Structure 1
């Protein structure tokens, strides 16, 4: 009895193996063609990926973004080849299941790595728009410095204090970004105070003529001095002039030379740069200053002294 069961079992296995072998031989040409399709798509993906990367490098000037986009395109071509090969084998249901599974997995990854994905997309967008390049001086989100490295997820900025700040690309993409290098020029503003006794027009002309003598000043016809407002001790002027930026003379050095030179020029022209002056008034309604009080005290003391030195005595009987 047991022998009959074993023979029946092996008979079923042989039948299954024979059917599979017949199906394999029958679909062997399809397998070969599917493998050839996969190989052809793989070759096409490699060639297309390299070609696209070269084109993107010339267009975007960013090797990171060019490599990423080329890799994504290459992967898409390979996946398309796999799907075509599976469909050629008659595995349409498998292709549909793979597509559905890929969509679910992609959605889950997107939610799990939302922050990373947002930075990556922002990095790609900035690589296409190119709001700044390596070496530019930028200011964004309380960070002010020189761009050192641009990655897909973050940007490295070296501040003027020597610190290296890592800024997520989404911050640069969302917030206001100031690029001080994109125009190649920068305007410097220097406030100057002169005394009320001096002529603002004369001081403005002296400052304008002096600052235009520097070689680092460009657009000399646009150099201007404006009267800003009335200060406590001075008439406040504002000097504007332009420099190349970045240039041989930096922003701080140009401003330093301007401040030092303007002081000397105004002193030479006998124009006073005043310091704060305080006048003390006494009395309930004012009108009596310290000089008047001191003069009154001196007069009173002198009068008393004179009376003491020459006493006048009158006797009456």
Structure 2
């Protein structure tokens, strides 16, 4: 009774195998073509990667961003070849499943590494937009210095105090960023005060003339001095002039020389830079004048001295009288 069942199972397996073999033989040309398609797309991806790698390295300051974008493009070309090859073989369902799975995995990774993904996308966007380059002087979120390196997730800035600051790319991408190197020049503002007795126009003329003689001053026609406000003991002025930035001499050297020049020029023209002056007025309502207070205090002192002198004289006279009586 068991032998017929074995024969039936054998026949069923044989029939299945024969069907698979026939299907494989039928699909053999398609399989060969699919392999050829995959190989061709692999060669195209490699060639495109070499060409795009050179272009990306010229376009982007960061080699990491250039390498990443090149790898992404190569991977997309290879995946396109694989999907076309699978579709050519007749595995459309497999292609659809792979695409759906890739989308789900991408969403999961995006939610799990949200902060990292945001920094990464910001780094790629900045690499394309290029708000700054390596070597530029930038200021953002309280960090001021030279850009040393641009990575996929962060940017390294060396401050003028010699510290290396690591700034996440999303901060640079979201917030206000000042690039002092993009224009190549910068305006300096030097505040100075002159006394109320001096002429503002004279001070402005001599300062403008002196600064325009400096080699580091550019756009000399825009060098100017403006009156800013009335100070407690001075008229406050602002000296404005343009310099190359970044450039030589450096910012600190220029500012030091400008302040020294302002002091020297004002001294030479007998224009006073006043120090803070305080005037005490005791003549407020219900108070006394200072001179009256001083006179009253002086009289008190003299009165006390005269009374003490008279007391001493009377003591002496008393002593003399007692001595005379004793002699008698």
Note if contact 2:204-2:226 (Cα within 8 Å) is conserved in structure 1: yes
Q: 1:43 to 1:216 in 2, by over 3 A?
A: same
Q: 1:219 to 1:293 in 2, by over 3 A?
A: farther
Aligned-residue offset at 1:58: 3.8
Q: 2:225: which partner in 1?
A: 225
Q: Which segment is superposed worse, 204-213 or 285-294?
A: 285-294
d(CA) in 2 for partners of 1:285, 1:155: 64
Compute the RMSD of aligned alpha carbons.
2.7
Aligned-residue offset at 1:299: 7.5
C-alpha distance after superposition, 1:235-285 (max 9, x if no partner): 100000111101111111111111122112211211111111111111442
Q: 1:314: which partner in 2?
A: none
Q: Which runs of 5+ in 2 are unaligned?
A: 310-328
Larger radius of gyration: 2
- SS of structure 2 residue aligned to 1:189: strand
2:38 is equivalent to residue 34 of structure 1: no
Aligned-residue offset at 1:302: 7.2
Q: 2:68: which partner in 1?
A: 68
d(CA) in 2 for partners of 1:40, 1:305: 119
2:1 is equivalent to residue 22 of structure 1: no
Note if contact 2:61-2:133 (Cα within 8 Å) is conserved in structure 1: no
Q: 1:315: which partner in 2?
A: none
Q: Which segment is superposed worse, 17-26 or 129-138?
A: 17-26
Q: 1:55: which partner in 2?
A: 55
Q: Which runs of 5+ in 1 are unaligned?
A: 310-317
Note if contact 1:281-1:287 (Cα within 8 Å) is conserved in structure 2: no
d(CA) in 2 for partners of 1:8, 1:290: 131
d(CA) in 1 for partners of 2:36, 2:251: 64
d(CA) in 2 for partners of 1:304, 1:286: 27
Q: 1:160: which partner in 2?
A: 160
- SS of structure 1 residue aligned to 2:90: coil
Note if contact 2:62-2:151 (Cα within 8 Å) is conserved in structure 1: no
Q: 2:317: which partner in 1?
A: none
Q: 2:254: which partner in 1?
A: 254
Aligned-residue offset at 1:307: 12
Alignment: residue pair count: 310
d(CA) in 1 for partners of 2:258, 2:296: 47
C-alpha distance after superposition, 1:119-174 (max 9, x if no partner): 12211211121111111111111111111001122111111111111111111111
- SS of structure 2 residue aligned to 1:108: helix
Question: Normalising by structure 2, what TM-score?
Answer: 0.85
Aligned-residue offset at 1:15: 4.4
Note if contact 1:191-1:239 (Cα within 8 Å) is conserved in structure 2: yes
Aligned-residue offset at 1:286: 8.2
Q: Which segment is superposed worse, 31-40 or 117-126?
A: 117-126
Note if contact 1:279-1:289 (Cα within 8 Å) is conserved in structure 2: no
d(CA) in 1 for partners of 2:265, 2:303: 50
Question: Normalising by structure 1, what TM-score?
Answer: 0.87
Note if contact 1:156-1:166 (Cα within 8 Å) is conserved in structure 2: yes
- SS of structure 2 residue aligned to 1:281: coil
d(CA) in 2 for partners of 1:263, 1:287: 41
Q: Which segment is superposed worse, 76-85 or 290-299?
A: 290-299
Q: Which segment is superposed worse, 279-288 or 46-55?
A: 279-288
Note if contact 2:62-2:149 (Cα within 8 Å) is conserved in structure 1: no
Q: 1:296 to 1:22 in 2, by over 3 A?
A: same
Aligned-residue offset at 1:304: 9.4
Q: 1:249 to 1:299 in 2, by over 3 A?
A: farther
